[in-house]
């Protein structure tokens, strides 16, 4: 299992998901209509490293973090 964390305005508790790739994680999260809109907007980190590809292989205990865009000033 991997842990998915949601930062900022997503305001969700971390969830554990059975997944072998980031694509598997996205497929599972898309089942939730509220999360679906965030998936296309968020940067994704695996174990604190930003990732751009969805075919990244995951291993037991990996931590995936969804980082929504943030405006500041």
pLDDT at res. 16: 98
- Please say whether the dihedral angle defined by the alpha carbons of residues 43, 7, 10 and 68, taken in this order, is positive or negative: negative
pTM of the complete model: 0.88
Q: What is the DSSP letter of 57?
A: B
Q: What is the pLDDT of residues 15-73, one digit of tens each?
A: 999 999 999 999 999 999 989 889 889 999 999 999 988 889 999 999 999 999 875 55
pLDDT at res. 47: 98
Q: What is the DSSP letter of 23?
A: H
Q: Which CATH superfamily, name and number, covers 2-67? A: Beta-grasp domain (3.10.20.30)
11-40 per-residue burial string, b: 16 or more CB within 10 A, e: under 16? eeeebeeebeebeebbeebeeeeebeebee
Bridge-based pairing of strands 49-51 and 43-46 is antiparallel
């Amino acid at each position: 299992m991997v842990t998915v964390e949601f930062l900022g305005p997503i305001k969700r508790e971390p969830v554990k998901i059975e997944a072998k790739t980031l694509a598997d994680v996205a497929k599972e999260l898309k089942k939730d209509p509220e999360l679906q809109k965030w998936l296309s907007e968020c940067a994704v980190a695996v174990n604190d490293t930003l990732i751009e590809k969805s075919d990244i292989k995951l291993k037991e205990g990996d931590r995936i973090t969804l980082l929504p865009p943030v405006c500041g000033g």
